[in-house]
Each structure stands twice: as C-alpha cells, then as structure tokens.
Amino acid sequence: MNTAPIRSICCIGAGYVGGPTMAVIADRCPEIQVKVVDLNEARIAAWNDPDLSCLPVYEPGLDAVVGRSRGRNLQFSTDVDRAIATADMVFISVNTPTKTKGLGAGQASDLRWVEACARQVAKCARGHTIVVEKSTLPVRTAEAVKAILEASQLAEAGEQKGPPPSFSVLSNPEFLAEGTAIADLEQPDRVLIGGEDAAAIEALAGIYQQWVPQERILRTNLWSSELSKLTANAFLAQRISSINSVAALCEATGADVREVALAIGTDRRIGSRFLQSGPGFGGSCFKKDILNLVYLCHHFGLPEVAEYWESVVHLNTWQQHRIASLVVRKLFGTVSGKRLAILGFAFKADTNDTREAPAIRIAGDLLEEGAQLAIHDPKVSAEQIARDLNLPASSAPDAEAGPTRAALSGEGTWWPAANITDAVRGADAVLILTEWSQYRQLDWSGIAALMRHPAWVFDARSVVDPATIRSAGLSLWRVGDAG
C-alpha cells in the first residue's frame, strides 16, 4: 500500500521513552503534529507545566527541546481516543514490566498495556494507520498486535459501508541511555526499523531522515528488530557483570580493576565502553530484557542459553549484596544503630530514575542490619525513595547525641538529607552509590571533621581520589581495589 507523507503522530505513553522521543521528532519535524497521550493526568499536567524545570522526566537538554516545540506542534493530552483518530502514525510506548504472577512470572514481559493499546488503536483509528512498537517487546509480539488490528478490520468491514481502517505494524526499538537520551536521539548510532510493509518502513524512515544520516537507518524484518533490542541490552549488561566479577577478583589478588579495564579496553576488538566497575546495572531495561530473553530461550528449548544469560542477572544481584556485606564487615561486623550517609540513589547520574537502582538493594540490606541511613540525591525525591525502600522516612536524629536505645535495638531507619553536610554529620561511613558530578569534588577534610571516627568511605563508583581520602584521615574501600 502506498503511504502518504506523515502529517500527524500520536504516541501512547508519556514516560521516559515516549516524552523525549516525541519531543525530538517534533523539534526536528515542525511540519508534523505530534501528540503525546497518557491516562496519567498528573504526568500530562507536568509535561504541560509552564515551568520547564517541572517536567516529569529529567534529562539534560530535554527542557530546551520541549520549550521549542510545545504549543507549536507538540501537545500533551489525556484525550487518547481523539489523538489516535487523527493520527497517521501511532507509537506504542507503554511500560512492559516483568510479570509478577502467572505463566512466566519473574521472567516474561507483562504485555497487558501493549494489548490494551492495540485494542484502543483498533477501535479509534480512521483510514490507514501505521502502528509502531516503541516499547521493548519480546520477539513476535507484533504478531499479537497485528492479530488484534486485523480482527478489528474484519469487524469494521461487516458493520459499515465505507472502507474499514487498515494498519501496518512496524518495530522501532529505542536505544537510549538515560542521562544522554537527547544526545542519543539527536545523534543516534543507528535507527532500527523492522517491518513487512515497505511503504510503511519508508514513511517512518522519512521522518528520521530529516536529521539522521541515511546510512544509520537500518531496515530489518519485524522479528530481527524486536530481538535486536533485547540482545543489545543483554550484551551491555553482560559487560557490566563481567567487569564486576573481575573487580571482586582484583580486590582478592591485589590488582586494580581500573588498570585491568584500561588494558583490555585498548584492545580494539573489545573497546573501552561499559568496562567501569561499580555496584551493578540498574534502570528499567537491562534486568527486564535479560529475563525476557531467558524466558524466550526456555520457551524455544534452549536451556543452556537461558542459563548463560540468567547468570548475568545473578552476578549483578550478588555484587550489590556483596557491597552491603562488605560495609558491615568493615564496620566491626555490625551497623546496628550506626549512621551511614548514602550519596546517590538514582541508578545512574543525570537522571531521576530509580528503577532497579543498585542503591535500593544495598540500602535495603543495610536497613535489615539496623543501619540509620541519611540519603542524599540531587534529583530523586524523598517520596520516591520511600516507595522504593517500602519504608516511610523518619525524622533525622540528633547527629551529636549518638545512637539512641531504639536505634541500637536493630530497627533500621532512613531520612532524606537536604544537603551533603547534613548527610555526613555524625556518620560512621559514606557510601557513594551514584556517580553524580558533585560527588567528585567534595571537601573530604571538611567532611572528615563532621564524621564519627574511625570513619570509612565506600566508593562504589570510583569517583574519589584515594590519596585525598586517606590524607583526610578516612579509611577507604574502592570497588575493584585491594587497598
């Protein structure tokens, strides 16, 4: 089917992928009307807030992109049906979390919202509509989407005299890294479009061609596109687990993981990306996508392949438990009643996203041990931390008074620290769990004067200078360093 130029786009889902992606498309394609829709009224209100610092997604540069297009050809709305009805192209960009119960629980993706979107598109679309999978999906999900849309075509054909709506389904997975999403969208390594309808593929390619070089737009079949997203994330996560396993060996043998990473990263067959040891990977995609890959491998009778990829997730979890256990051991075998400063709660710098953040598991383990945690993060709210830890915040205790009888009883508590000074005052240790730039430039002599001694710094992100820490009179553990 010949496809006319795209003049109107609807994106269902105003989250970390849908909002920034559509903002960049609207910015680069001013002749296209772009509507981002979501049933979450508070989220849409935040996208429409005149104060661009209040956007629901924090990404460097996003406020400027939204500011240029919002009110011109970029709209945010809760009117999903109308946006679908007037769109030439509909992106599905909703959450696909791991199932928590039922068939495939703990591994398979929960596709209830994708299916709901497909049914809503089938009900509301008019004329020919190109439906684009933007969410990360298991291989062959497009079959389910196509089946729903085709069933709608048959039903419409039997009920009305005019031509029924028609659909083409494409896969266009995102390859965004949180913290650099705008740069990744404006200068992508590649844009992947999978489909069977050549005209629909070229219609989507025509949008990206307005700012992406032609050689970076890859065309594949639907299944290759869907699988490419899962395996890209699996390969990146595998590198993180691999270097973290080496970091543990370095600590045991006296090697330095940063020197090892430099040595192997200079091999052009390997490269230096994703060889920074740390507290493990987080974010919305890596764990979810690997477990989805594990489920698919089991489904298609490949248990050995499933076991291999599952080990990547197991080692990531082990690394986080290892760090928490190490803190306890270094602090004389107990953290009960001790005040620990947690610097960084987001899963990485330059984002407010805490999904699968390593800090959640590490902090959780320390709370189980009875620690008193002062948590500081420049972008993550106290409300979000409380949800992630499943524990309401307490009031900050008097740092000068020492641990109370209640604190020594073993009940772990936490509270938000308004600034780094408040976090470290009276603390027995500082844990750096997110690589925010401000944590690289701290006055450690001043911090040491505020802490209770002997005091430790646990640098899980390799952001401090060891000599500076030790000259301040602090003990240091740094990931991948025998010390």
What are the catalytic residues?
174, 229, 285
Provide the b/e sequence for 442-463 (b: ≥16 CB within 10 Å): bebeebbebbbeebbbbbbbbb
Rounded CA gap, 312 and 147, in Å?
34
458: Cβ contacts below 8 Å, ≥ 6 apart: 323, 326, 327, 330, 429, 430, 431, 432, 477
Contact 251, 481 (CB under 8 A): yes
Residue 448's region, left for phi above 0, alpha for psi from -120 to 50, else beta, is alpha
C-beta separation of 212 from 186 below 8 A: no
CB-CB contact of 142 with 171 (8 Å): yes
Angle between helices 286-299 and 303-330 (to 10 degrees): 150
Residues 415 and 392 sit within 8 Å (Cβ to Cβ): no
Pseudo-torsion of CA 258, 178, 280, 253, nearest 10°?
Answer: 0
